[in-house]
Amino acid sequence: MAKQFQAIRGMNDILPVESGLWRLIENTFHDILTVYDYREIRLPIVEKTELFKRSIGEVTDIVEKEMYTFSDRNGDSITLRPEGTAGCVRACIEHGLLHNQNQRLWYSGPMFRYEKPQKGRYRQFHQIGVEAYGMPGPDIDAELICISARLWQRLDISKSVTLQINSLGSNAARSAYREHLISYFTARYTEMDEESKRRLHTNPLRILDSKNPTMVALLSEAPSLIEHLDLESIEHFEILKTLLNGAGVRYKINPRLVRGLDYYCKTVFEWGTETLGAQGAVCAGGRYDGLVRQLSGKTVSGVGFAIGLERLVSMLADKQTSTGTMLGLHAYLIAVGDIANGHGLALAERLRDQLPDLRLRMNCSGGSFKSQFRRADNSGAQLALILGENEVYTGMVTVKLLRKVDGEQIRLPLDRVAEYLRIAIGTLSIATEI
């Protein structure tokens, strides 16, 4: 027997039963971003490896062990993007979008990280990302958080997610704090797990992010970054909190909230849920004022966030709202016999010209009247349009209502079918949005 192929581990097919939910989330998000005046940017999926090393940071988990890196045929090292910010900044610099102007942008698409696949953690996953450039104040941080909050509200999951915020301070404040942390952890070296020991000198801030229960006591007594912030960052954080209060967005301050990428400073935030178990972060973001300078030499502020779509979909699927996105069929066209079949396609196309919103499925590849009728019934369509030899000769179409007991059956002249359906779908549309 021929070998059956399977998808690459950690890379999922999104099947039709689920894709409606994906589309719902994407459309909802698109609507919200449009009214906040954010514009879409479409970016390549591969970039030069160097871009990610320079932006995300050499000693982060992503760059050290999670990137899909290849040599192309020219021998250049390229990487499947593990996140969107680096490519977005690269594109904005390359096309002069940051020159004397602000930008509010969004993108969506697959990201790739070679992680251990488990629920909520995949090797190909999808993000919707939002980035804003050229605005150094906390008002834009607050706007981004409000956008995400509005998405939860529209998706009716506000009650299941909570917002944590923190400030990482300026780069200078963070390096001073880094030294405090190293001396604290060095003094209690024996209490640390292996992973944290490894991070002690490469990325000590990430130790704060450890989820290992054996580290809880050690972490709770660690010096807090918030106590080592510079004045400017303190003020930025205070204003952000005031703005969020004013907008009615509730948050918790988590002094140990850090991000796994090096470029963040000042504001960081994360929306999480209890409903997904260990992989509870559905949206994460923050400010990265140094990144544009690092990649181009020009000083331009940046702030953004990314939503993990798989996790959001699984939250919504758990709530079983997915059926709300399925639009049912209005009509199924049955055409029995070669002659009728020949007329069927022409009729279907004419109806589609006249009624662009008509959701019509045409029976293809024949079958007896009985088997076509069974398919019509299984399709969920509200009515069947029946074209047999007899109908063709008399220039008529039979219409049968499928969802009523003793469904009415009428015969209409061909040129009256569109008019009948126009009235019918007006009432059916509402009824068929399950």
Residues that bind ligand ATP (CB under 6 A): 83, 113, 115, 120-122, 125, 127, 259-260, 279, 281-284, 306, 308, 310-311
- Is 310 or 391 the residue whose CB approaches ligand ATP more closely? 310
How open is the CA angle 23-27-31, to the nearest 5 degrees? 175
- Is 223 or 260 the residue whose CB approaches ligand ATP more closely? 260
- Is 132 or 306 the residue whose CB approaches ligand ATP more closely? 306
- Is 279 or 398 the residue whose CB approaches ligand ATP more closely? 279
Identity of the residue numbered 322: S
Cα 127 from chain centre: 4
Q: To which H or E segment does residue 77 belong?
A: strand 77-80
CB of 62: closest distance to ligand ATP in angstroms?
7
- Is 83 or 141 the residue whose CB approaches ligand ATP more closely? 83
Task: State both tokens at 172.
Answer: 């200078």
Angstrom distance (rounded) from CA 15 to CA 20? 9
Task: State both tokens at 319.
Answer: 């709530």
Cα 260 from chain centre: 19
Under 8 Å CB-to-CB from 36, ≥6 apart: which residues?
104, 143, 147
Task: State both tokens at 423.
Answer: 């009235």
> In this chain, which residue has its C-beta nearest to ligand ATP?
308
How open is the CA angle 336-339-340, to the nearest 5 degrees? 45
Angstrom distance (rounded) from CA 328 to CA 379? 9
CB of 284: closest distance to ligand ATP in angstroms?
4
- Is 260 or 337 the residue whose CB approaches ligand ATP more closely? 260
| C-alpha atoms less than 13 angstroms from C-alpha of 45 in its C-beta half-sphere | 12
Helix (H, G, I), strand (E, B) or coil at 13: coil
CB of 234: closest distance to ligand ATP in angstroms?
24
CB of 416: closest distance to ligand ATP in angstroms?
53
DSSP H helices in 319-416: 338-354, 369-378, 389-394
CB of 266: closest distance to ligand ATP in angstroms?
16
Residues facing residue 69 across a β-bridge: 79
Angstrom distance (rounded) from CA 422 to CA 353? 12
CB of 9: closest distance to ligand ATP in angstroms?
12
Answer for the pair 399, 386: CB distance below 8 angstroms, yes or no. yes
Task: State both tokens at 76.
Answer: 């250049």
CB of 149: closest distance to ligand ATP in angstroms?
15
CB of 252: closest distance to ligand ATP in angstroms?
16
Q: Which residues of 263-297 are buried (b: 16+ CB within 10 A; e: fewer)?
A: bbbbbbbbbbbeebeebbbbbbbbbbbbbbeebee
- Is 3 or 116 the residue whose CB approaches ligand ATP more closely? 116
CB of 30: closest distance to ligand ATP in angstroms?
18
- Is 258 or 351 the residue whose CB approaches ligand ATP more closely? 258
CB of 283: closest distance to ligand ATP in angstroms?
6
- Is 258 or 381 the residue whose CB approaches ligand ATP more closely? 258
CB of 195: closest distance to ligand ATP in angstroms?
13
Lookup result for tokens 């797990």: 193
- Is 170 or 273 the residue whose CB approaches ligand ATP more closely? 273
Q: To which H or E segment does residue 129 belong?
A: strand 124-133
Lookup result for tokens 């948050």: 251
Q: Strand pairing of 124-133 and 77-80? A: unpaired
- Is 22 or 125 the residue whose CB approaches ligand ATP more closely? 125
